[in-house]
Amino acid sequence: MESAPIPDSRRDRTTTMVITGLVIVLAVASVALRLYTRISMRQGIKADDWLILAAVIIALLTVSILLWGNIINPRSVWISENTDPSYTYQPQDHVYLQISFATSALYFTVASTSKLGILVTYNRLFASSRAFRNQLWAAGALVSIFWIGCTEAALLACVPLEWAWANSLEDPRYCFNYNLFWAAAGACEVALDVVIVAMPQYLWYAMMMVVLTVGDLSSVIIITGLVRCITGYAPGKRVPSYSNSEVWTLVHGGVSIVCASLPVFYPLFRTVLRRWRSPSPSRLRSGGEGGTEVT
């Protein structure tokens, strides 16, 4: 019995690489601006900054590994979803399955460190009451449980471990249903995002922060998480639909990092806005020379 022809996914790979590149550039730029803001305002680098920096570094590592896997194996996405038992796996196929296994586990570290970074930022900016601090601790505990539990589950998806990259069939004799796990983990992450985003909403409005903040972009984080969860689920299969969810997973992770940095930009935005509104010495001189008194 001959195996079915393998589709060429070069176009999909190019699209994924372009979108991934844009998202990563935005994430790196936001973190760089975050650190610049903290240093220029002489506020120092705090725990939340280190967490977000760790998130973007691990995200860069994850994306680099994933892009390398797509380069060495042009049909990488098809391989990760292949259910043809007659297909003969090549060495590069096993390498890509190892890469896919590693990046799926690393994703939970990127997502969790960015969430913890947001919570620590909340604590630094808003923790004026004991009740709110207790909420932050509770949310931090939930994120930590999500991080440890999902990472451990991803690493133990197959026993023995080598069955995770022996093929993409997720043999039920050795592996649990990764499709259901990925969907359940995605649903839990969306619930965490809703909790984290909802916590300081009244404080954003109390501070009259008219710039884009986590509060303003909360819907983006939640929507991308929902789309990632829905598109990744493949009914009747044991592996997620990576072809549908890969881009949304990368977008969701990148948007989370960008939004985690937005509250820190407020002092810089306020300073720039104040300087822009105040008249410069040259404008004052030109006004005086024209006979107009500036008061």
Q: With respect to residue 2, please indicate whether it lies within any of the assigned structural domains.
A: no
Q: What pLDDT sits at residue 139?
A: 96
Taking only the tens of pLDDT, the chain with its 295 residues reads 444 455 555 556 677 778 878 888 999 999 999 898 888 878 788 999 999 999 999 999 998 888 888 888 877 778 888 877 788 888 888 898 999 899 999 999 999 999 999 999 888 877 778 888 999 999 999 999 999 999 999 999 999 988 888 887 778 889 999 999 999 999 999 999 999 988 876 665 555 444 445 555 667 888 999 999 999 998 988 889 887 888 888 889 888 898 888 777 766 666 666 667 665 555 445 554 444 443 3
Confirm whether 295 is domain-assigned.
no
Angle at 245 between CA 155 and CA 68, to 5 degrees: 65
Tell me if 5 is assigned to some domain.
Answer: no
Count of structural domains within the chain: 1
173 domain residue, yes or no: yes
Q: What is the pLDDT of residue 87?
A: 84
Q: DSSP for 10-36?
A: HHHHHHHHHHHHHHHHHHHHHHHHHHH
In a domain, 207, yes or no: yes
Domain that holds residue 148: 10-264
Whole-angstrom distance, CA of residue 233 vs CA of residue 268:
41
Is residue 286, in this structure, part of any structural domain at all?
no
Q: Is residue 153 part of a domain?
A: yes
- Cα–Cα distance, 78 to 97 (Å, whole number): 11
Q: Is 114 domain-assigned?
A: yes
